[in-house]
A = this chain, B = another copy of it.
Amino acid sequence: MPATIKDIAHQAGVSLSTVSRVVNGKALRYRISKETEAKILQVAKDLHYSPNQLARGLRLKKTLLIGLVIPDISNPFFAHITKRIQNLAHQKGYSLIVCDTDENLYLEIEHIDLLMSKGIDGLILMPVGQESQHLQPLIQRTFPLVLLDRCFEDIDSISVLVDDYQGAFDAVSHIIEMGHRRIAIIQGLPGTSTSSNRLRGYQDALLKNNLEIDADLIVGSDFRAENGYIETKILLHAPNRPTALFTTSDLITLGALEAIHEEKLVIPQDISLVAFDDIDFAPYLSSPLTTVSQPKKIMGEIAVKMLIDAIITHRVSAQKIVLKPQLIVRNSVRRLGDGH
């Protein structure tokens, strides 16, 4: 078992408080003599002393722990964000408790409660997004909270977001410019800010180009690969098959690719595809994917900075920071003749 401050005090023949002050670098402020300080430091080193963070956290009411609640860490988009967050957090002295909700609201609530009882100093939350009731208590306590990627209308917190509307608008506009008229969108979880903004972007791009919105081409119910697979399967067998697909997450894209592959169709010859979330392998797919790329690292970085600032100042000033996505045109959209 690790050495405690008591062990050091004993061995150095001083009191607990003196040891505490020395190991916390407050020797000067509390007028501890150089000799005593040196001795204590030596003993501490000999005993491999490392402060018990539980005791410290209990006393100081801060743990240098921050919670990260994330819908799916095996999703490369989230994995990259997580990496940057953990990186920067560690640099700033904080450790990360990571919780994966699997896009499940109840798990999200459970995880948040658990994190709070562990005494986290702050929370970065990428919410499932359908419900925000459970966040009210945090907001009221002005607990340091940063919402990332998805936000809520009715929650006044720090939010770091991507302009999903613009991303979708650009993507669909590009598809239209390439001559497509029947464009399907495979949505993620309806009701979440990301989904509804992407849907609005899709719709507005159609309207602006005088194309009508066909409800049959608006499908999808969640962000999982299965959703992408199922909806693509159905779309590809529809009587009036769309010529292009807009998949709104990388997992949906994965499922869509599987379905397209199974149907022995080739991108972009047989079906065009534009995806959201730029995955590392996008350039090397059988047809390099045209995608909307999100600034993952920046998102993580800003989230951590905002959070730690809120923790330190203990002022939470609600604000939405919106980052711009970027359309990366590769080769997954076929150019159709105007007559088509």
Interface residues of A (CB under 8 A from B): 1-2, 48, 50-55, 57-58, 63, 65, 72-74, 76, 79-80, 82-83, 86-87, 90, 95-100, 102, 111, 113-119, 137, 141, 225, 254, 257-258, 261, 279-281, 283-287
Within the complex, which residue of B50, B82, B111, B119 is in contact with A52, where a contact is CB–CB below 8 Å?
Answer: B119
What are the 10 closest A-B residue pairs judged by CB atoms, nearest first? A79-B79, A74-B83, A281-B281, A98-B98, A257-B284, A50-B117, A54-B58, A286-B286, A53-B118, A54-B57
Bound complex: CA of A57 vs CA of B55, how far in Å? 9
Min distance, Cβ A282 to any Cβ of chain B, angstroms: 9
Q: What CA separation (Å) do A261 and B282 show in the bound complex? A: 12
Q: Please report the C-alpha to C-alpha distance between residue A81 and residue B299 in the assembled complex, in whole angstroms.
A: 24
Min C-beta distance of A243 to chain B, whole Å: 20
Contacts of A117 in B (CB 8 A): 2, 50-53
Chain B residues with Cβ below 8 Å from A281 are 254, 257, 279, 281, 285
A261 contacts which chain B residues (CB < 8 A)? 283-284
Q: Which residue of B lies closest to A75 (CB)?
A: B79
Shortest beta-carbon distance, A120 to chain B, in Å?
A: 10
Q: Are B99 and A90 touching (Cβ within 8 A)? A: yes
Given the known A-B contacts A116-B50, A285-B281, A285-B285, are A87 and B100 also in contact in the complex, defined by CB atoms under 8 Å? yes
Q: Are B73 and A76 in contact (CB under 8 A)?
A: no
CB distance from A252 to the nearest CB of B (A): 13
A72–B80 alpha-carbon span in the complex (Å) = 10
Q: How far is the CA of A73 from the CA of B300 in the complex (A)?
A: 14
With CB as the reference atom, state the residue of chain B lying closest to A119: B54
